[in-house]
Structures are given as structure tokens and as C-alpha cells.
Amino acid sequence: MVGAQEQGLKLLVPRSGVSIYAIRVQMALAMKGLAYDYLPEDPRCKSDLLLASNPVHKTLPVLIHSGRPVCESLIIVEYLDDAFPGNGASILPADPYRRAVARFWAAYVDNKMFPSCIGILNTAKQQERADKVEETLAAFGLLEAALAECSKEGEAEAPFFGGGSIGFLDIALGCYIPWFEAIGRLAGVPPFLDAARTPKLAAWAGRFRAAEPVIALLTAVDKVQEYITSVLYPKWNVAVTASN
């Protein structure tokens, strides 16, 4: 593994340890075999380093490489793949079309799928909750079809979106797995990753969770559940009260 000092890599992350987006970047760093300085931050008390590194959004994670910041988790993953082409396996597909497809679905997961899923908990209205559940299930159905298409390798079916090994879309979606499970538990709904409804996706999730380096980085479901109940629920209740 290349040393952090040699590469000048620093990673600013929320200190909660449950950040989907920080873990996404950590997976990419591990796949590339790169060491880095791990710098946990309190998002409620932003450091001068964070404000200087990400003055636009002031959010985490931020990767600092030789003094230069890179922001937004998917952009950081792509940057690491481009900046260290000789380290580990490529994360993004080599084929331009497959790259575009992977980027499309990664953006869909971030901008549509997860907001629908977390929205199940962020409403007290039964109809709104039911609508969010349906939206989430529909999204899982679309990802089931995307997996069947992305994992094609000739006549065979590869184990991951990235083919024979974990790739860009695997990382983009896979870091949400503990959150999907925790949200389902708290909402009292059947598992979203259901072998009867989405067999390919459920089998993929099992392979992803057991793979290196994922197995050492993926957040425990109980920890995510505790974070939602102790941090997010109070925050949402304050927002609802303020809007009434």
C-alpha cells in the first residue's frame, strides 16, 4: 500500500462513522491500495480546513491530494481512478458507453432512489409514506434490470455491476445497503433487497458485502439505525415543528 505521506492524501469525513459518501470514498481508496490520513470532522462545527477546502458546499467528504481538494464522493471516486491508474483494478469501465451507463445509474441512486427511501421515515402522513415505499420498490426494480444489463459478459452473467470485480456502480449503490436495511426495519416494511422480488440484486448484495475491501468498511446496520433514531429523527422533528 502506497504511504499517505508519499501520496499526500488526506480524507476529511464526518466523525459519525455512518456517512454513506465517506465510506464510498474509503472503498475506492482501499481498492486502489492507497493509504491516507483519516481526518474526522464535526459537521456542526466546521473546521478552517474544511471551509478552505470546500468553500462552496462546505460538506464532507473532501479528499485532499498534495494540498489540492476534491469534493463530492462520486467525483472523488472518479478522480482516484484517473489519478492512480497503476494502482489496483480500474474502478470505472474502460468502454465509454459502459462508463456513461454506470454514471447514469450512480446519479439515479443518489438523486432519486435514496431520497425516496429515506423519505419513508421523514413523514408522518400515511399516504406519503406509502407513496415513498412504492417509489423505492420501483427503483429497486429498475436497478434489478440494470444489473442484468450491466453484468453481461458475453453469454455469461458477471457477479457485479462492474463485471468480474467491484466497479463504480457497485460502490455507488453498495454503500447504501446498511441504510436500506435500517430504514426498512424502522419503517416496519419487508426488506427492500428481497430475493423473491429482486433476486439478482439480493444475490449481488450478498456478494458485495462479503467482498474485499467492502467487508471491513461497510457500516453495521445497528449503528445506522441508532444514528437515524438519535440524530435524524430529532432533526426532522425540529424541521416539522418550525414549518407548522
CATH class belonging to 9-83: alpha beta
Per-residue pLDDT at 155: 65
The model's pTM? 0.94
CA distance 169 to 129: 27
Neighbours of 181 (CB within 10 A): 18
Instruction: List, by residue range, all CATH 3.40.30.10 domains of the chain.
Output: 9-83
- Of 64, 61, 83, give the one whose Cα is nearest residue 72: 61
Per-residue pLDDT at 209: 97
- Of 70, 135, 74, give the one whose Cα is nearest residue 102: 74
Per-residue pLDDT at 241: 46
CA distance 179 to 176: 5
Q: What is the mean pLDDT of each run of 10 residues along the chain (244 residues)?
A: 68 97 98 97 96 98 98 98 96 96 98 98 94 98 96 85 96 98 97 97 98 95 97 81 49
CATH class belonging to 96-239: mainly alpha
Per-residue pLDDT at 60: 98
Query: What are the φ/ψ torsions at residue 93 (nearest 5 degrees)?
Result: -60, 150
- Of 197, 198, 205, 192, give the one whose Cα is nearest residue 166: 205
Per-residue pLDDT at 237: 86
Per-residue pLDDT at 159: 96
| Cα separations in angstroms, 201 against 87, 167, 196 | 29, 15, 10
What percent of the chain is helix, strand and coil (3-state, nearest 5)? Answer: 55, 10, 30
CA distance 156 to 158: 6
